[in-house]
Amino acid sequence: MTDEVSPGQSFSLDGEDVPFRLGETVIQAATRAGRYIPHLCWHPEFAAHGSCRLCSVKVNGRVGAACTVRAAAALEVESDTEELNAHRKTLLQMLFVEGNHFCPSCEKSGNCLLQATAYQMGMEGPHFEEFYPDRPVDASHPDILLDFNRCILCELCVRASRDVDRKNVFAISGHGIQTHLLVNSASGRLVDTPMTLEDRATSICPVGVILPKRRGFAIPIGQRRFDAKPVSEQVEGGPE
């Protein structure tokens, strides 16, 4: 991908022009321009995954994922609409009931992308029956805790461990509602992997699955990232 913005090349996002670089996706160009498109599984360090569908937008009237649709001149992209935001709220509600997300007691509260996005979208409540799945907590590693109850299957830890750390500590297994994150070791326990606190996979989780031990609530709730400013005001290229 070239670092140069194509001269005169832009697309429309909710009625405003967004310049793009050759090869960029809609969400890459929007993020660089400081424009917020809700997302969970997309991360600027990695190739698009397209699993959460939260970044769904309308492109020339057709729905597509902003993380996979390539930016092109004269595209008419709609994101912040009543219809799309209602769709996003439903997806968020489903994620909350499919896991065990108890925000008031979670160490990640105030620094959780799922929680912050739910606030941004004005999610009033789950509106679906809670699943209350029985998921394990792995405290075997001396420095890292895994709480699988909060996993949203974004696969960011899988990609970070594979592509950055070169360790392949995590994998996704199962199908449908049985899909789950697992630890790639003979015992299935994190202690039997080469993962360390310094790994990118340790810090990439957008929710509260991967947590460093002995650091809980070091930053008080109320003083954390999304306590200070909503997620829509913390976009790369946007106002500080």
Q: Write the pLDDT tens digit of every residue in 123-154.
A: 988 789 999 999 999 999 999 999 999 999 99
**Same structural domain for residues 149 and 74?**
no
Domain CATH number, residue 102: 3.30.70.20
pTM of the model: 0.93
Is residue 64 exposed (0-12), middle (13-18) or buried (19+ Cβ within 10 Å)?
Answer: middle
Do the beta carbons of residue 235 and residue 34 sit within 8 Å? yes
**108 — alpha (psi -120 to 50), left (phi > 0) or beta?**
alpha
pLDDT, residue 240, reads: 40
Q: Is the pLDDT confidence value at 2 over 60?
A: no
**Same structural domain for residues 145 and 68?**
no
CA distance 76 to 74: 6
For residue range 16-71, what is the model confidence (pLDDT) as tens digits?
Answer: 999 999 999 999 999 999 999 999 999 999 989 888 999 999 999 999 999 999 99
**Same structural domain for residues 92 and 208?**
yes
Please state the rounded mean pLDDT for residues 87-115: 95
Q: Is there a domain that residue 102 lies in?
A: yes
**Domain boundary residue, one of 42, 57, 80:** 80
Q: Is there a domain that residue 237 lies in?
A: no
**Same structural domain for residues 103 and 184?**
yes
pLDDT, residue 85, reads: 97
Please state the rounded mean pLDDT for residues 216-235: 95
**Same structural domain for residues 145 and 202?**
yes
Confidence tier at 8 by pLDDT (50, 70, 90): low
**Same structural domain for residues 167 and 93?**
yes
Whole-number percent of the chain with pLDDT over 70: 95
Higher pLDDT, residue 195 or 8: 195
Listing DSSP states for the chain in one string gives --SSEEEEEEEEETTEEEEEETT-BHHHHHHHTT-----SS--TTS-----S-TTEEEETTEEEETTTSBP-TT-EEE-S-HHHHHHHHHHHHHHHHHTT--GGG-TTTTS-HHHHHHHHHT-----S--------EE--SSSEEEEGGG-----HHHHHHHHTSS---EEEE-SGGG-EEEE-SSSS-GGGS---TTSHHHHH-SSSSEEETT-TTSSPTTSSHHHHS-GGG--TTS--
**Same structural domain for residues 99 and 34?**
no
**Same structural domain for residues 105 and 194?**
yes
80-85 CB contacts, 8 Å cutoff, 24+ apart: 80/14, 81/14, 84/56, 84/57, 84/58, 85/121, 85/122
C-alpha dihedral over 158, 160, 164, 165, to 10 degrees? -70
**Same structural domain for residues 124 and 151?**
yes
Full domain range(s) for residue 17? 5-80
Please state the rounded mean pLDDT for residues 89-100: 95
**Same structural domain for residues 37 and 95?**
no
Please state the rounded mean pLDDT for residues 216-238: 92
Higher pLDDT, residue 125 or 159: 159
Tell me the average pLDDT of the chain.
Answer: 94
**Same structural domain for residues 96 and 203?**
yes
